[in-house]
Amino acid sequence: MNMPNKLTMARMVLAVPFIYFLGISDGDNGFIYRMIALGLFTIASITDFLDGYIARKNNMITDFGKLMDPLADKILVISALVVFVEVGFLPSWISIVVLAREFLISGIRSLAAANGEVIPAGNLGKYKTTAQMVGIVIIMILGVTQIEVLGINLNIWIMLPSVILTIWSGWDYSVKAKHYFMNME
C-alpha cells in the first residue's frame, strides 16, 4: 500500500476516536473532549489534503485511492454531522441532505463500478468536502451557540455554504452520470 493510501486509511481510523470524544463533549469536561475531537478532526482533514497532493505529485494515483479517499471523507464528515445532531449543534435536516447526496453518489459509483469504471471526485465534490470540514471545525470551536442571525442559528449559517455545495455537486455529478441511467435495462 502506497503512502497516499495509508493516509486515507489513517483518516478512516481517526474517525473512531473522533466520534468518541465528540460524542462525550456535552457532559463533564465537555470543552476538553471537544478540543480533543477538534484536534483529531483537524489531523484527519489534513490527511485528506496530503494524500491527494502526494499521489498527484509522485504519480501514485490508484483506483483504490480514487474509491477510498472519498469514502474516508464521507465517514469523517457524516460522523461529525450525526454527532452534531445528537449533541444539539445542528438540526437533523443538514445531516439528512448530506446523507442523501452521499447515498445518491454512492449509487452512481456502484453503477460505474459495475461497468468497470471508477469515477474520481470532481472539483465541486472537493470544494464541498473542504467547505464541510471547515464548517465542522468552526462549529467545534464555537460549540453550542444560541446566537442567531436573521432569526437563524449561527451554526446553520456556518454550514449553509457546504449544504449548497452538497446539493450543487450532487446535481452536477448526477447530470454527468446520466448515461448510466439511460443505459439501464
Quick one: 175 exposed, middle or buried, by C-beta within 10 A (0-12, 13-18, 19+)?
Answer: exposed
As a whole number, mean pLDDT of residues 43-52 equals 90
Reported as a single tens digit per residue, the pLDDT across 67-102 is 788 888 889 999 999 988 988 889 999 999 999 998
Which pLDDT band, with edges at 50, 70 and 90, does 160 fall under?
very high
pTM for the model:
0.84
**H-only helix segments in the chain:** 3-23, 30-57, 63-87, 92-114, 123-142, 154-176, 178-182
C-alpha angle with apex 177: 175 to 182, nearest 5 degrees?
A: 95
Domain annotation for the chain: domains and CATH numbers: 3-182 (1.20.120.1760)
Give the pLDDT of residue 96: 95
Q: Answer positive or negative: Cα dihedral of 12, 16, 17, 19.
A: positive
Spatial separation of the C-alpha atoms in residues 88 and 146, rounded to whole Å: 11
